[in-house]
């Protein structure tokens, strides 16, 4: 199994187990907080399945209908995972308001606390695993899925705080903790959505990356200058177009070889997927 799919498989099966445990204990002890947290885990199962198929599609090679590959699908699916986080925040916030204005109370016991602690540690482990692989591969689906795990861990922290406060007589503890979680999840959702909207709409590369590309081209022997440098995101990676200037005394083959070296050197940069190099003769062509 390819390394990109392992965190998603772990996520799917791990969340199924956590959802069953949390919902079962929640029903047994009439805990709305645990039931809601279990449903949150089920939502993670759905988004991880979504992410799995997104990663499958994004990794497909170029074909007749997608001549530059399918990498945009990575950002497309990551965008919807971000939108799913907004839905999660809404549902948690809605439950928090219901608890504030409701009259229901529950008896907190060690089993309930134990289940919540299991959820927190399990979800944080999934977060770290997905983030590690996602950042190493620069895969936006895995990174977005990792933050979805983090949202579930935070929601479990809120449940833990709420159950603890309720055990000591503070009636609205779980609701207030949930509001904090809603704010944190919402912040992450905004970051994921905005980042991937930029990738999908072909936003330009940051200035520091453009400088890195320019310096890579200028480091090739025979390149006198670089101009008309443009780079935009196609999914999470960059397509680069630039003009290099070479001395007029070079042969056509020498100029071509220099352009190929520039292309290879730029495409070795982590952020770059493709580079298109135009050759201009210094003082003759522009």
Residue ranges of the chain assigned to CATH 1.20.1510.10: 6-200
Instruction: List the 272-281 sheet strands across, edge first.
Output: 225-234, 237-246, 272-281
Q: What is the pLDDT of residues 9-43, one digit of tens each?
A: 888 898 899 889 988 988 887 776 677 777 777 77
Query: d(Cα 161, Cα 167) in Å, to the nearest integer?
Result: 10
Of residues 230 and 100, the one with the higher pLDDT is 230
- pLDDT score recorded for residue 42: 76
Superfamily of domain 207-281: Cation efflux protein, cytoplasmic domain (3.30.70.1350)
Strands 272-281, 237-246: parallel, antiparallel or unpaired by DSSP?
parallel
Burial label, 24 (beta-carbon count in 10 A; 0-12, 13-18, 19+)? middle
Which tokens is 49 given? 């399945």
Q: What is the pLDDT of residues 218-242, one digit of tens each?
A: 999 999 999 999 998 887 778 999 9
For residue 1, pLDDT beyond 50: no
Which string of DSSP letters, residue by residue, matches 40-81? HHHHHHHHHHHHHHHHHHHTSPP-SS-TT-STHHHHHHHHHH
Fold designation for 6-200: Alpha-lytic protease prodomain-like (1.20.1510)
Tell me how far the alpha carbon of residue 276 is from its chain's centroid. 28
- Of 142-156, 173-187, 218-232, the range with the lowest mean pLDDT is 173-187
Residue 95 in contact with residue 158, Cβ under 8 Å? no
pTM here is 0.63
- pLDDT score recorded for residue 173: 66
- pLDDT score recorded for residue 138: 77
Query: pLDDT category, 264, cuts 50, 70, 90?
Result: very high
Which tokens is 99 given? 């608890």
% the chain with pLDDT above 70: 91
Query: pLDDT category, 260, cuts 50, 70, 90?
Result: very high
Residue ranges of the chain assigned to CATH 3.30.70.1350: 207-281
């Amino acid at each position: 199994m390819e390394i990109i799919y392992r965190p998603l498989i772990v996520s799917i099966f791990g969340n199924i187990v956590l959802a069953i445990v949390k919902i079962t204990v929640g029903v047994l002890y009439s805990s709305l907080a645990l039931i809601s947290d279990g449903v949150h885990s089920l939502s993670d199962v759905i988004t991880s399945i979504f992410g799995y198929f997104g990663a499958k599609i994004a990794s497909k090679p170029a074909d007749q209908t997608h001549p530059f590959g399918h990498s945009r699908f990575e950002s497309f699916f990551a965008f919807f995972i971000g939108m799913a986080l907004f839905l999660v925040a809404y549902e948690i916030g809605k439950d928090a308001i219901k608890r504030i204005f409701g009259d229901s109370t529950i008896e907190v016991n060690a089993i309930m606390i134990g289940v919540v602690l299991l959820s927190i540690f399990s979800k944080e482990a999934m977060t770290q695993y997905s983030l590690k692989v996602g950042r190493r591969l620069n895969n936006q689906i895995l990174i977005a899925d990792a933050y979805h795990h983090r949202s579930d861990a935070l929601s479990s922290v809120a449940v833990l705080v709420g159950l603890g406060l309720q055990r000591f007589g503070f009636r609205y503890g779980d609701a207030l903790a949930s509001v904090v979680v809603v704010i944190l999840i919402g912040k992450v959702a905004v970051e994921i959505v905005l980042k991937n909207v930029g990738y999908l709409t072909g936003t330009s590369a940051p200035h520091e990356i453009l400088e890195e590309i320019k310096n890579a081209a200028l480091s090739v022997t025979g390149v006198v200058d670089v101009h008309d440098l443009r780079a935009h995101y196609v999914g999470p990676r960059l397509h680069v177009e630039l003009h290099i200037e070479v001395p007029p005394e070079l042969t056509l083959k020498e100029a071509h070889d220099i352009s190929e070296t520039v292309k290879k050197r730029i495409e070795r940069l982590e952020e770059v997927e493709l580079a298109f190099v135009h050759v201009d003769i210094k003082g003759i062509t522009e």
